[in-house]
């Protein structure tokens, strides 16, 4: 199920390698995650759940849901969507938890030193927000370290093959994948980006616990910018855990980053921008999209995206939802149903569709654990995606020197994520190196750009959210 | 609303709920007031261990009674509290510890406890992952175990309600009403007064503040302890491993797969600060790997902090106070979860019948605090 031809993307695959999964040899390419390689080999069931032993595939593909955990080279509970396949690796599927393996040699735990690294600005997350923060803070002389838990930098951008809207300043007409590369190319020697390096804890006085080369390392920073993005929402319906039910972002990752098709035919739930764009991308990659369901009476996505899909003959069914998924050990189909004005299912309107993939695109939730550990004041603002840290115009949270940017601060878009990251980076470097006319001018420009971006009718929800946030600041 | 009760309990941890359960079972109309949520205090922060290896008669007997109660809890409360006889191993890495453990075992055996001192290789046979470097032997009691504090409290709380009692959470008691040396009731932060001629202080680390509301100055101090829990791995029946060396610690594999543990800091940290430190995470993970090297490959899930409520001698104070009708069941000194079910039952029986099951003067209010519990 590897994609060989694609209208936009060219997949440059690495060296061919082989590893073993449950005793069977698996062909893979260097640079591919274990989960992706297994998918390409047609293996969708990666584990069985702890309590009921139900089959589980992967859902998020970016390390947030834990449904892809397998035993890898004796190490239990490895999230295989985040670990690259290696020659001769031994991978075992888990039923429930993995096994406590034997360790080869006993280390000297009496004298074990934990490495400490100092930096001026620590940035968590190498998505558009984090990278922009690094770009601008480093430009004005700050030493930055960017920690990214996934194997690639760019965050959600690396999977976005469509062209962006907006003004030139916001990278309009550029494809998401290229924006990411642009940001990375712009980084100077003041920035160090570490991939496969999750930040797992925040401690007082800006100490971060990170896992580097599978070991704990301590980072001491003067400023911390948290740009951890968001995780996809789940929808509750019977059998929503069957292998073959994915988040839209996961499908994108599989398809656009790894060049692997998630399935042959699919049902998309949610007709917001993401749902509609991903459905179109699936179509481009050769997947048969049966329908896009939307519970609301109207389509949330921009008109252009929706029309593109319709022109290809894909129905977008408003006032429809999924009632259940079915299948023996994997998705074989779904029952869909029409809704009335009160969101109630209309009896008799149920019908089955035969699909091997169900894709959920029902919203995102900011990833906020680090703010809670840091003791940031939080506020629940539905317009901005739910619970978020309270912050000022300079993106600083209630904890001095701790910043937020991007989807972690409000579910918006890459353009605003980049501006917010830029603002956080500028404010942090200003506080470190002193106020300069140049930085002040930059900050004003960013503020104006954000206002401009949020000015139109599509920005209304965000503006309402921002107003609530301002209230919360008082 | 009628605000008269047979007994009012302050605190919704294991002590408050177990005591409330047994009182309600005997027909009393119980009101339990909790300032936060049930298990918000030490109970929800403990590392789930239940042992009987103590050094003084009343503690050993209370703990042994508690184990019997844990064994039957599923039937008694209708809740599976995850009770498992996973045992406790106290590790001796020097001769002094060997001697001390052997001496305690003699006392414990007098009360019929199935405890023995086994060699390092016997321990290794029971726990293949154990590192036995410098280990001289362990005090091993296979009938010790573990249970889920959340499920235990859930079971007792349901029991209280089923028996006609009331539990009100987010209700902080701010005053205890005393007239002519007799307790009359309590007042809460919401300004509500509840009446009763019996009030029990089960406020854990807050016990001293609560006692002072009635002019009773209990000799208890909160002491900070941090803990952590790992990701799960398949259950291998590993007992609570207790290493009392200066850089030791104690941890157990939960039946649900995770390893949970803590250590006692060399310098005691007073107070109720709930923040977590990097230092603890670093140290605890190192200490755990030292004892079970295979843990090297297991991720830490989360860490937290809570407080022990310490008495000078490490034994609880379970008694009536000089204020008539005001009881206390406090100063659990780090063993409240394991002793909780039995102490709840004993105090309830004392309040109803006026008798203790055996000599409980070790836990008396106003006793002279002598030597510390040797296995504290
Ligand atoms: C299908 C789709 C289409 C979109 N189309 C558009 C569009 O047309 N125009 C537009 O402007 N926007 C679009 N967006 C939105 C845009 O992609 C996001 O708003 C943007 O990527 C958010 O950037 P971010 O840096 O905040 O988060 P992310 O891009 O999510 O990056 C966060 C990064 O942080 C890392 N991370 C998280 N936690 C940790 C941790 N503890 N330690 C280390 N690393 C961590 C993550 O791995 C990730 O790489 C689209 C999004 C999707 C899903
Ligand atoms: C890290 C750690 C590990 C531990 N491990 C173990 C172990 O393995 N085994 C074991 O047996 N013990 C262990 N303990 C000790 C055990 O947790 C305690 O001894 C036990 O939970 C005490 O229970 P309690 O009901 O007395 O107190 P708590 O659980 O603290 O309950 C007291 C309650 O009273 C409430 N309260 C206080 N003041 C008021 C007020 N004014 N009004 C209303 N409500 C009030 C509090 O909110 C609290 O919920 C551990 C403790 C810690 C911190
Ligand atoms: S964590 Fe790997 S699929 Fe979600």
Asked whether residue B233 falls in the same domain as residue B294, the answer is yes
Q: A131-140, A210-219, A352-361 — which is least confidently predicted? A: A210-219
Average pLDDT over residues A194-210: 95
- Which residue out of B232, B291, B297 would a mutagenesis test of the A interface target, given it has the greatest number of A Cβ atoms within 10 Å? B297
| Domain-embedded: residue B24 | yes
Which tokens go with A462?
């965000």
Number of inter-chain CB pairs under 8 A, A vs B: 69
3-state DSSP of chain A: CECCCCCCCCCCCCCEEEEEECCEEEEEECCCEHHHHHHHCCCCCCEECCCCCCEECCCCCCCCCCCCEEEECCEEEEECCCCECCCCCEEEEEECCECCCCCCCCCCCCCCCCCEEEEEEEEECCCHHHHHHHHHHHHCCCCEEEECCCCCCCHHHHHCCCECCCCHHHCCCCEHHHHHHHHHHCCCCCEEEECCCCEEEEECCCEEEEEECCEEEEEEEEEEEECCCEEECCCCCCCCCCCCEEEHHHHHHHHHHCCECCCCEEEEECCCHHHHHHHHHHHHCCCEEEEEEECCCCCCCCHHHHHHHHHCCCCEEECEEEEEEECCCCCCEEEEEEECCCCCECCCCCEEECCCEEEECCCEEECCHHHHHHCCCEEEEHHHCEEEECECCCCEECCCCEEECHHHCCCCCHHHHHHHHHHHHHHHHHHHHCCCHHHHHHHHHHHHHHHHHCCCHHHHHHHHHHHHHHHHHC
Of the bound ligands, which one is closest to the alpha carbon of residue A363?
1
Contact B328, B10 (CB under 8 A): no
Task: Give the chain B residue whose CA is nearest to the CA of A109.
Answer: B290
Residue A33 Cβ inside 6 Å of ligand 3? The answer reads: no
Taking only the tens place, the pLDDT of each residue in A381-419 is: 999 999 999 999 999 999 999 999 999 999 998 999 999
Asked whether residue B319 falls in the same domain as residue B335, the answer is yes
Taking only the tens place, the pLDDT of each residue in B79-136 is: 999 999 999 999 999 999 999 999 999 999 999 999 999 999 999 999 999 999 999 9
Asked whether residue B212 falls in the same domain as residue B305, the answer is no
List every span in chain A annotated with CATH 3.50.50.60.
114-231+365-473, 245-361
Residue A128 Cβ inside 6 Å of ligand 1? The answer reads: yes
Q: Which of B310, B328, B350 is at the close of a domain?
A: B310
Indicate whether A111 pLDDT > 70: no
Percent of chain B with pLDDT over 90: 94
Domain count, chain B: 2
| Domain-embedded: residue B204 | yes
Q: Residue A14: which pLDDT band, with cuts at 50, 70 and 90?
A: confident
Instruction: Check CB contact under 8 Å for A98 and B289.
Output: no
Instruction: Check CB contact under 8 Å for B234 and A98.
Output: yes
Indicate whether B207 pLDDT > 90: yes
ipTM: 0.88
Task: Give the chain B residue whose CA is nearest to the CA of A219.
Answer: B278
Asked whether residue B136 falls in the same domain as residue B158, the answer is no
Looking at the CA of residue B33, tell me the nearest atom of ligand 2.
Answer: 43
Average pLDDT over residues A355-362: 96
| Domain-embedded: residue B80 | no
Taking only the tens place, the pLDDT of each residue in B148-164 is: 999 999 999 999 999 99
Indicate whether B318 pLDDT > 90: yes
| Protein residue whose Cα sits closest to atom 1 of ligand 1 | A274
Domain that holds residue B338: 7-48+149-219+313-363
**pLDDT given for residue A151 in this prediction:** 86
**pLDDT given for residue A173 in this prediction:** 63
Of the bound ligands, which one is closest to the alpha carbon of residue A82?
3
Indicate whether A103 pLDDT > 80: no
Instruction: Check CB contact under 8 Å for A106 and B257.
Output: no
How many angstroms does the Cα of residue B229 sit away from the middle of ligand 2? 18
Residue A81 Cβ inside 6 Å of ligand 3? The answer reads: yes
Task: Give the chain B residue whose CA is nearest to the CA of A97.
Answer: B233
Average pLDDT over residues A213-219: 89
Return mean pLDDT, chain B.
96
Taking only the tens place, the pLDDT of each residue in A410-441 is: 999 899 999 999 999 999 999 999 999 999 99
Average pLDDT over residues A443-467: 91
Return mean pLDDT, chain A.
92
Instruction: Check CB contact under 8 Å for A106 and B133.
Output: yes
CA dist B353 and A394 (Å) reads 67
**pLDDT given for residue A113 in this prediction:** 79
| Domain-embedded: residue B72 | no
Asked whether residue B225 falls in the same domain as residue B306, the answer is yes
Average pLDDT over residues B330-340: 98
Taking only the tens place, the pLDDT of each residue in A33-52 is: 999 999 999 999 999 998 89
CATH number for the region A245-361 comes to: 3.50.50.60
Of the bound ligands, which one is closest to the alpha carbon of residue B212?
2
Could you tell me which CATH class the domain A16-95 is placed in? alpha beta
Contact A184, A199 (CB under 8 A): no
3-state DSSP of chain B: CCCECCEEEECCCHHHHHHHHHHHHCCCCEEEECCCCCCCCCHHHCCCEECCCCCCHHHHHHHHHHHHHHHCHHHHHCCCCCCECCCEEEEECCHHHHHHHHHHHHHHHHCCCCCEEECHHHHHHHCCCCCCCCCCEEEEECCCEECCHHHHHHHHHHHHHHCCCEEECCCCEEEEEEECCEEEEEEECCCCEEECCCEEECCHHHHHHHHHCCCCCCCCEEEEEEEEEEEEECCCCCCEEEECCCCCEEEEECCCCEEEEECCCCCCCECCCCCCCHHHHHHHHHHHHHHCHHHHHCCEEEEEEEEEEECCCCCCEEEECCCECEEEEECCCCCHHHHHHHHHHHHHHHHHHCCCCCCCHHHCCCCCCCCCCCCC
CA distances from B326 to B8, B114, B312 (A): 10, 37, 22
Task: Give the chain A residue whose CA is nearest to the CA of B246.
Answer: A110
> What CATH number does residue B258 fall under?
3.30.9.10
Asked whether residue B204 falls in the same domain as residue B153, the answer is yes
Asked whether residue B22 falls in the same domain as residue B125, the answer is no
Q: Which residues pair with B50 in a beta bridge?
A: B145
Asked whether residue B248 falls in the same domain as residue B306, the answer is yes
Asked whether residue B303 falls in the same domain as residue B349, the answer is no
**pLDDT given for residue A106 in this prediction:** 63
Nearest Cα of chain B lies from the Cα of A193 at a distance, in angstroms, of 23
CA dist B13 and A393 (Å) reads 43
Percent of chain A with pLDDT over 90: 75
Name chain A contacts of B234, Cβ cutoff 8 Å: 96-100
Taking only the tens place, the pLDDT of each residue in A140-162 is: 999 999 999 998 899 988 887 76
**pLDDT given for residue B70 in this prediction:** 98
Instruction: Check CB contact under 8 Å for B231 and A204.
Output: no
Of the bound ligands, which one is closest to the alpha carbon of residue B205?
2
**pLDDT given for residue A179 in this prediction:** 82
**pLDDT given for residue A157 in this prediction:** 86
Which tokens go with A133?
């923060």
Indicate whether B204 pLDDT > 70: yes
Q: Which of A228, A404, A421 to mutate to test the pocket of ligand 1 (most atoms within 8 A of CB)?
A: A228
Q: Choose from A247-261, A301-315, B62-76, B277-291 the range with maximum mean pLDDT.
A: B62-76
Instruction: Check CB contact under 8 Å for B233 and A77.
Output: yes
Indicate whether A462 pLDDT > 70: yes
Taking only the tens place, the pLDDT of each residue in A330-343 is: 999 999 999 999 99
**pLDDT given for residue A244 in this prediction:** 95
> What CATH number does residue B341 fall under?
3.50.50.60
Average pLDDT over residues B211-221: 97
Q: B52-66, B270-284, B345-359 — which is least confidently predicted? A: B270-284
Quick check: A100 contacting B, CB < 8 Å? yes
Taking only the tens place, the pLDDT of each residue in A163-193 is: 665 555 566 666 777 887 888 898 999 999 9
CA dist A394 and A428 (Å) reads 9
B180: exposed, middle or buried (Cβ count in 10 Å: 0-12, 13-18, 19+): exposed
Name chain B contacts of A207, Cβ cutoff 8 Å: 278
Name chain B contacts of A203, Cβ cutoff 8 Å: 276-278
Q: Residue A457: which pLDDT band, with cuts at 50, 70 and 90?
A: confident
List every span in chain A annotated with CATH 3.10.20.440.
16-95
Taking only the tens place, the pLDDT of each residue in B23-67 is: 999 999 999 999 999 999 999 999 999 999 999 999 999 999 999
Task: Give the chain B residue whose CA is nearest to the CA of A51.
Answer: B256
For CA atoms A72, A75, A76, A82, the dihedral sign is negative
Residue A59 Cβ inside 6 Å of ligand 3? The answer reads: yes
Quick check: B246 contacting A, CB < 8 Å? no
Instruction: Check CB contact under 8 Å for A98 and B236.
Output: no
Asked whether residue B172 falls in the same domain as residue B296, the answer is no
| Domain-embedded: residue B201 | yes
Indicate whether B68 pLDDT > 70: yes
| Domain-embedded: residue B78 | no
Asked whether residue B233 falls in the same domain as residue B153, the answer is no
**pLDDT given for residue A193 in this prediction:** 96
**pLDDT given for residue A11 in this prediction:** 76
Taking only the tens place, the pLDDT of each residue in A275-312 is: 999 999 999 889 999 999 999 999 999 888 999 999 99
Instruction: Check CB contact under 8 Å for B278 and A203.
Output: yes
Q: Residue A258: which pLDDT band, with cuts at 50, 70 and 90?
A: confident
| Domain-embedded: residue B53 | no
**pLDDT given for residue A1 in this prediction:** 73
Q: Residue A4: which pLDDT band, with cuts at 50, 70 and 90?
A: confident
Asked whether residue B43 falls in the same domain as residue B169, the answer is yes
Average pLDDT over residues B177-195: 97
Instruction: Check CB contact under 8 Å for B234 and A114.
Output: no
Could you tell me which CATH class the domain A114-231+365-473 is placed in? alpha beta
């Amino acid at each position: 199920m590897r994609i060989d031809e694609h209208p936009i993307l060219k997949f440059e695959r690495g060296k061919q390698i082989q590893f073993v999964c449950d005793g069977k040899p698996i062909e893979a390419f260097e640079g591919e995650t274990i989960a992706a390689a297994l998918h390409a080999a047609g293996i969708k069931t990666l584990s069985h759940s702890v309590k009921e032993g139900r089959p589980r595939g992967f859902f998020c593909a970016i390390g947030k849901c834990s449904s892809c955990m397998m035993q890898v080279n004796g190490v239990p509970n490895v999230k295989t969507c985040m670990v690259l396949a290696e020659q001769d690796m031994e991978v075992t599927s888990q039923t429930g938890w993995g096994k406590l393996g034997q360790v080869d040699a006993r280390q000297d735990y009496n004298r074990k030193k934990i490495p400490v690294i100092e930096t001026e600005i620590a940035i968590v997350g190498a998505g558009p927000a984090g990278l922009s923060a690094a770009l601008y803070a480093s430009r004005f002389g700050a030493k930055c370290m960017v920690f990214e838990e996934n194997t690639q930098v760019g965050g959600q951008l690396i999977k976005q093959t469509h062209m962006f809207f907006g003004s030139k300043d916001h990278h309009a007409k550029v494809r998401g994948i290229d924006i990411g590369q642009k940001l990375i190319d712009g980084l100077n020697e003041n920035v160090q980006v570490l991939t496969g390096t999750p930040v797992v804890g925040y401690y007082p006085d800006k100490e971060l616990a990170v896992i580097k080369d599978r070991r704990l390392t301590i980072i001491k920073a003067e400023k911390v910018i948290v740009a951890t993005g968001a995780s996809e929402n789940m929808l509750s319906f019977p059998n929503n855990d069957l292998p073959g039910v994915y988040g839209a972002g996961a499908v994108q990752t599989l398809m656009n980053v790894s060049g692997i098709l998630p399935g042959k035919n699919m049902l998309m739930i949610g007709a917001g921008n993401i749902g509609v764009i991903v459905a179109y991308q699936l179509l481009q990659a050769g997947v048969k999209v049966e329908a896009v369901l939307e519970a609301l009476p109207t389509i949330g996505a921009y008109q252009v995206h929706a029309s593109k899909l319709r022109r290809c003959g894909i129905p977008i069914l408003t006032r429809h939802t999924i009632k259940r998924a079915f299948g023996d050990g994997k998705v074989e189909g779904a029952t869909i149903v029409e809704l009335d004005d009160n969101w109630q299912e209309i009896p008799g309107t149920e019908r089955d569709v035969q699909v091997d993939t169900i894709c959920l695109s029902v919203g995102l939730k900011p990833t906020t654990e680090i703010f809670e550990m840091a003791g940031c004041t939080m506020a629940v603002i539905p317009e901005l995606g739910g619970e978020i840290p309270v912050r000022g115009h300079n993106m600083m949270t209630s904890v001095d020197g701790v910043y937020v940017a991007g989807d972690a601060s409000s579910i918006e878009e890459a353009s605003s994520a980049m501006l917010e990251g830029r603002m956080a980076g500028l404010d942090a470097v200003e506080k470190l190196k002193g106020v300069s006319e140049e930085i002040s001018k930059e900050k004003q420009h960013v503020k104006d750009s954000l206002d401009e971006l949020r000015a139109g009718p599509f920005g209304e929800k965000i503006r309402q959210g921002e107003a609530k946030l301002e209230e919360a600041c008082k | 609303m009628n605000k008269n009760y047979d007994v009012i309990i302050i605190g919704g941890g294991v002590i408050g709920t177990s005591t409330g359960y047994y009182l309600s079972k005997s027909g009393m109309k119980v009101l339990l007031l909790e300032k936060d949520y049930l298990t918000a205090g030490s109970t929800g922060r403990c590392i789930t261990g239940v042992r009987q290896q103590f050094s003084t008669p009343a503690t050993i007997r209370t703990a042994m009674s508690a184990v019997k109660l844990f064994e039957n809890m599923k039937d008694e409360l209708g809740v599976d509290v995850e009770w498992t006889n996973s045992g406790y191993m106290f590790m001796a890495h020097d001769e002094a510890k060997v001697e001390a453990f052997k001496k305690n075992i003699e006392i414990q055996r007098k009360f019929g406890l199935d405890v023995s001192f086994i060699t390092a290789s016997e321990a290794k046979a029971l726990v293949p992952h154990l590192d036995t470097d410098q280990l001289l032997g362990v005090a091993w009691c296979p009938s010790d175990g573990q249970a889920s504090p959340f499920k235990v409290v859930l079971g007792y709380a349901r029991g209280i309600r089923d028996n006609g009692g009331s539990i009100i959470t987010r209700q902080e008691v701010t005053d205890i009403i005393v007239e002519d040396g007799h307790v009359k009731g309590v007042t809460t932060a919401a300004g509500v007064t509840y009446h009763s001629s019996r009030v029990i202080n089960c406020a854990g680390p807050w016990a001293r503040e609560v006692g002072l509301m009635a002019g009773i100055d209990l000799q208890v101090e909160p002491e900070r302890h941090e803990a952590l829990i790992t990701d799960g791995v398949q259950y291998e029946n590993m007992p609570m491993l207790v290493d009392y060396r200066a850089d030791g610690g104690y941890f157990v594999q939960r039946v649900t797969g995770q390893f949970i543990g803590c250590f006692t800091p060399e310098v005691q940290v007073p107070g109720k600060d709930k923040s977590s430190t990097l230092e603890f995470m670093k140290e605890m993970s190192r200490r755990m790997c030292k004892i079970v090297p295979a843990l090297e490959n297991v991720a830490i899930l989360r860490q937290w902090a809570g407080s022990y409520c310490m008495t000078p001698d490490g034994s609880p104070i379970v008694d009536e106070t000089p204020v008539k009708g005001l009881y206390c069941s406090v100063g659990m000194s780090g063993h409240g979860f394991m002793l909780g079910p039995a102490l709840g039952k004993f105090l309830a029986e004392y309040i109803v019948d006026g008798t203790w099951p055996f000599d409980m003067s070790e836990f008396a209010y106003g006793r002279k605090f002598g030597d510390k519990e040797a296995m504290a």
